[in-house]
Structure 1
Amino acid sequence: MTRNQQTRREFLEESMLVAASTVTGNIAYGDTWQQNDARHGANNRLGVAVLGVRGRGASHLRAFAKRSDTQVVMICDPDQQIAHKRADEVEAMQGRRPQVSADLRRAFDADHVDLISIATPNHWHALAAVWAMQAGKDVYVEKPVSHNMTEGRRMVQASRRYGRICQAGMQPRSHPGLREAIEFLHQKKLGKVRVAKGINFTPRRSIGTVGRFQPPPELDYDLWLGPSWNRDSATANLHFDWQWQWAFGNGELGNRGFHQMDIARWGLGMNRLSDRVLSYGGRFGFQDEADAPNTQVVHHEYGDQSLVVEIRGLKTVARRNIRAGVIFECEEGYLVVSSYSNATAFSSDGRKLRTFSGRGDHFDNFVQAVRHRRVHDLHADIEQGHLSSALCHLANISYRLGRPTPAQLAWTVLDGFPTNDQARRTWDWTLRHLVENQIPLEHLTICVGRPLTIDSSLELVKSDDEANAMLTTHYRPPFVLPSQSDLGFS
């Protein structure tokens, strides 16, 4: 493909983004859980415990407190200042004050708690979910559902072993507009999908210089750490900065970029891991306490189909008014997902064919599935959450095992892995983005990740012990994830 042809395609793609801006997969298990708890009957109000209420957890509280069939009965957060503040807010919404506990384990022991809603930092997601399901609770867990790939499979196993409903916080999957658009793709109305390209342009500032900071005095830091080990230093803004530290978070890819990864995989119709993955990028523009890159590109290969995600954390111009979306490049046109609930289909020459819109309620989908004990009713069963989270984890492993490479030579290292022209265009866009942020390329090094070949049936990396060691972690007692054998799996 010539540079002129690339420019034409880039122009066409961006034109469709401008226009766009103005089905869940099969599940290989029984449709109805045999366990049908009496407390989940239509006339009973379900008691909800929300774990982690500083950020996203506040939305969980509002979602359950406003319903007539659920009631927030417990708030668990190691920061007691924010916990009591949220308890006041919930009391104003539902007329009854929830209990407050610093230790989330209290919720698992409480008979009046039916549902556990998890919005903790990522390193707590899996352990809290598995413990909750072992205690007989149904679970809603934020994305990414796991902090590493092994945890995700363990959550699926716990759901199956204990017959619990477990919904992943993948809200776009409950929006009718997006569900119809994905079904449109699956019906091959635009032919086969060649490339699914996710973009997430969320500018982020530095999290601050390396230093020794004390955790906030109102925080029980031991409970906050949970399964993770203490670090030599904290950051000045612990409650947000954990996202960019591997000990607790998964970077922007596992944060907002997760939704682009999930929508892209969903549109491809892939209910498995990819065949190969490579990621490159770096943390450019400043030096701080963060581990995760602020500029990252991911290439997953599914046979002759590709899934690409592009993360930009520096100042950047929206791609025709869109900062987060997915573009499906198909044989006979394009589908542009311009928000979590809107999409537009185009012909190959850029004619608008159809628009899709409409929002839904992901929490309601969860509650209804719990009441009817029908896992098939879930729009985002834990298996789907695991697979999309795992694609993020594998990409981050590739990146973390990469080597700093001079920017002028990096493409020669990459050449031969990505098998489509989208790869070259994304590389060019990345360099352009860095130059626009006054980052000179002459002496710049880019971390070029290690190519990983995946055995999707075993959920392992082929012939790479170092990568496979990063599929799990060493837990801090007593906050230890139950093993497969603990859950009845060999």
Structure 2
Amino acid sequence: MTTNVTRRHILQAGTQTAAVLAAAQAMPGVFAAETSKPETVNLGLIGCGSIMNHHLKGLVSRKEAVSISWLCDVDSAQVDRTAKNMAGFQPKEAKRTAEFEDVLTDPDVDAVVVATPHHWHAPIAIAAMAAGKDVYLEKPISHVYDEGHAIIRAAKKYQRVVQQGSQMRNSPVTDRAGKLLADGVIGEIKIAKAWTAEMRNTVKPVADSAAPEQVNYDRWLGPAPKRPFNQHRFHGTWRMFRDYANGEIGDDGIHDIDMACWGLGVDSAPTQITARGSRMMLHGHASEYPDNMNVSWQFADGRLLIYENYPFTSYGIHGFDNGNIFYGTEGYMIFSRRGAFRVFLGPKSEPGPTEGDVRSERGYAEHMAEFLNAVRTRDLHTKARPEVAHRSCALVHLAEIAFRTEGRLDLDPATERFKDCDEANALLSKAYRDPYRLPSV
């Protein structure tokens, strides 16, 4: 290795971030002439769980012009499983590590795909950008509100490509629906509604236990509070706990909230948030989150965005388990990320343009292709760039804060701080456990 960038440098915050960048700039190739990027993009994969394997299988099956340089996960068993999905893809095996810093200090790595639990998203992404890497970052890009702004600042400072994993932004069906909306097929859109309507099962609490031998559990916790190992606070079900995740609304719901932002044309923070939730069905559930939520965000011009989450239906809403409705002055559009939309016009809801249910049009290939092409061309204006991603992630965080505090909150969209609620403002950020602090930007 030809540089002094170390794990300690990357983990330390504040002025150490500048030191990381300075050392990274000395790496051969990291900041070489960006217009001469090779066709093959060298990737490091950080977080080898289910969604990462979905991405990897897609890259392999499409024979994308990428080389997988690293597989990184704190659980070596997950690395082993992921490596099997690369069989025959490239002549050289990917290097393996439990420490993401090994990936970031490799001068040959052009970009990273980050698919860790949410609490690790911002720390890894910002450190990666400081080390000269472009970042495909799974949703939500932030675990708490203020991390979104930190990622925006880092992307601008280091001139890095960042793409949130909101693949419907690049789905062909989204493009077709978007053209209709832009042409005014339903008039001026005043309200957008998003929903998650899927059956969920009760997960009963279990006792704490020893962490698996192959897992670096302290590193899995990272910036989260120190806690004994618990199977539910680990693979898969970590989503039920605030230390690591953002509940249903920030896991599945963020996809549909992002599409609601897209359809409504959200370009600012809201002025008012109301949030209600309860334990409706899943009694005895181990989750720290309600099993249902009903949230509304009002914007300065009076437009509304609504999210509804139901754990008790297999029939969905309007035939879709996940979807949106855009209400306009001339009609409305039912839109689903399952690959369909239906338009209804006028006072009699006459059928308008319609697309069928085509689950193959989920946008994964197109979204990754946009990211890889941006890495090659240095086009920072991707469809799910940080400024766009933060607008939808922000709604998740604001909803959670409203639910946990007063139920209804007023926000100043200019300062992005709550009016007359110190308790709510304190939840816009969080404490980070040493030494896994958020790098300063």
Tell me the TM-score normalised to structure 2 length. Answer: 0.86
Question: What displacement does 1:464 show?
Answer: 1.3
Question: What displacement does 1:374 show?
Answer: 1.2
Question: What displacement does 1:453 show?
Answer: 1.1
The answer for the alignment partner of 2:288 in structure 1 is 291
Question: What displacement does 1:197 show?
Answer: 0.8
Find the aligned partners of 1:263 and 1:341 in 2 and give their Cα distance. 12
**1:76-106 residue CA offsets vs partner (Å, 9 max, x unmatched):** 1000011022113213333432111011111
Find the aligned partners of 1:274 and 1:340 in 2 and give their Cα distance. 28
The answer for the alignment partner of 1:351 in structure 2 is 350
The answer for the alignment partner of 1:467 in structure 2 is 424
Check the 8 A contact 1:91/1:98 in 2, yes or no. Answer: no
Check the 8 A contact 1:50/1:76 in 2, yes or no. Answer: yes
Paired residues for 1:251-262 under 5 Å:
251-262=247-258
The answer for the alignment partner of 2:74 in structure 1 is 78
Find the aligned partners of 1:57 and 1:369 in 2 and give their Cα distance. 20
The answer for the alignment partner of 1:479 in structure 2 is 436
The answer for the alignment partner of 1:223 in structure 2 is 219
**1:60-79 residue CA offsets vs partner (Å, 9 max, x unmatched):** 22234444421111011000
Question: What displacement does 1:288 show?
Answer: 3.1
Find the aligned partners of 2:74 and 2:228 in 1 and give their Cα distance. 20
Question: What displacement does 1:386 show?
Answer: 1.2
Distance of aligned partners of 1:37 and 1:342 in 2 relative to their CA distance in 1, 3 Å threshold = farther
Check the 8 A contact 1:145/1:385 in 2, yes or no. Answer: yes
Letter in 2 for 1:375: L
Check the 8 A contact 2:203/2:284 in 1, yes or no. Answer: no
Q: Gaps (5+ residues) in structure 2? A: 1-29
The answer for the alignment partner of 1:58 in structure 2 is 53
Check the 8 A contact 1:228/1:248 in 2, yes or no. Answer: yes
Tell me the TM-score normalised to structure 1 length. Answer: 0.78
Question: What displacement does 1:289 show?
Answer: 2.5
Question: What displacement does 1:455 show?
Answer: 1.7
Find the aligned partners of 1:179 and 1:278 in 2 and give their Cα distance. 31
Question: What displacement does 1:108 show?
Answer: 0.7
Find the aligned partners of 1:110 and 1:220 in 2 and give their Cα distance. 21
Paired residues for 1:352-367 under 5 Å:
352-356=351-355, 360=363, 361-367=366-372
Distance of aligned partners of 1:211 and 1:40 in 2 relative to their CA distance in 1, 3 Å threshold = farther
Distance of aligned partners of 1:53 and 1:321 in 2 relative to their CA distance in 1, 3 Å threshold = same
The answer for the alignment partner of 2:402 in structure 1 is 398
**1:156-212 residue CA offsets vs partner (Å, 9 max, x unmatched):** 100000010101111000012212313432443311212211111122222222532
Question: What displacement does 1:125 show?
Answer: 0.5
**1:46-68 residue CA offsets vs partner (Å, 9 max, x unmatched):** 11011111111112222344444
Question: What displacement does 1:213 show?
Answer: 3.0
Paired residues for 1:186-225 under 5 Å:
186-209=182-205, 211-225=207-221
Distance of aligned partners of 1:157 and 1:67 in 2 relative to their CA distance in 1, 3 Å threshold = farther
Across the aligned residues of Structure 1 and Structure 2, the Cα RMSD in angstroms comes to: 2.0
Question: What displacement does 1:232 show?
Answer: 4.9
Question: Helix, strand or coil for the counterpart of 1:375?
Answer: coil
Question: Helix, strand or coil for the counterpart of 1:385?
Answer: helix
Letter in 1 for 2:375: V
Check the 8 A contact 1:281/1:296 in 2, yes or no. Answer: yes
Distance of aligned partners of 1:72 and 1:267 in 2 relative to their CA distance in 1, 3 Å threshold = same
2:42 is the alignment partner of 1:47: yes
Question: Helix, strand or coil for the counterpart of 2:251?
Answer: coil
Question: Helix, strand or coil for the counterpart of 1:328?
Answer: strand
**1:231-277 residue CA offsets vs partner (Å, 9 max, x unmatched):** 35623472011111111010010011001111111111111111111
Question: Helix, strand or coil for the counterpart of 1:222?
Answer: helix
Check the 8 A contact 2:337/2:362 in 1, yes or no. Answer: no
Find the aligned partners of 2:43 and 2:58 in 1 and give their Cα distance. 11
Paired residues for 1:7-156 under 5 Å:
37-38=32-33, 41=36, 43-65=38-60, 66-156=62-152
Match of 1:301 among 298, 303, 315: 298
Match of 1:275 among 252, 271, 274: 271
Letter in 1 for 2:283: F
Find the aligned partners of 2:409 and 2:179 in 1 and give their Cα distance. 30
Question: What displacement does 1:298 show?
Answer: 0.8
Question: Helix, strand or coil for the counterpart of 1:62?
Answer: helix
Identity of aligned residues (%): 31
Check the 8 A contact 1:199/1:311 in 2, yes or no. Answer: yes
Check the 8 A contact 1:126/1:155 in 2, yes or no. Answer: yes
Letter in 2 for 1:393: H
